[in-house]
Structure 1
């Protein structure tokens, strides 16, 4: 939480896209390592969780503005809400079941690569994101 204001200021100054790219490619590359290091001492758990949350902070600070800026004000609520709800339900809601399924079938280590693949898909979509930090949000979608 302490890092979010600083990361939010960075998103306002440098753009949402750079922070989203740091998050997407960072988690795609580091999530297998993070998930592999979760067992062990409390100190290790604290260090891994801190590093992962700082990296996730790049997303949390930039994504709300980035997603809102993709839609005209007339459709902004539906444009953000529906895709977000569907993806959270499909991927976030089923994540524990996927993890348990893989573990029950002797493939517990595969889950970290599933997470990395999803982060890579996000990173690729962030590459295609059109930066809007200097655009008036009320002008988006006007003809």
Structure 2
């Protein structure tokens, strides 16, 4: 199992770098070429969400992105340090599960109600792009886990 960890200051201009790194590592891990745009978009949404949460709450710690190449899948975790009260964390997790379930069943991803934040819209976009996604949040921050299947590649010389 190979792992790459990326830490970056919560600045919007660093999101592009995170997208590029994720796509490069995904390609090397054996993620299908046709899916790489989805990887880039999903990582961009997750990182933009984390940057926004850090900035809105005045958090100075870096955003963390962990890219893991496993035997049969490629996983990305995007973590933020923005605390969520228990009720908000439960709502975020439930909304992400509902969107993921709708996307997995081939149904439409439900749009969040108008009073919902851009944060929830970003989660809906991610759930529409990634079949295997898990979102958790608590008092210590949030985590978005995404994964894609890989196909074995011949060893590089």
With the length of structure 2 as denominator, give the TM-score of the two structures: 0.34
Q: Which has the higher strand share?
A: 2
Q: Whose radius of gyration is greater, 1 or 2? A: 1
Q: Which has the higher helix share?
A: 1
With the length of structure 1 as denominator, give the TM-score of the two structures: 0.36
More contact order relative to length (CA 8 Å, sep ≥ 6)? 1
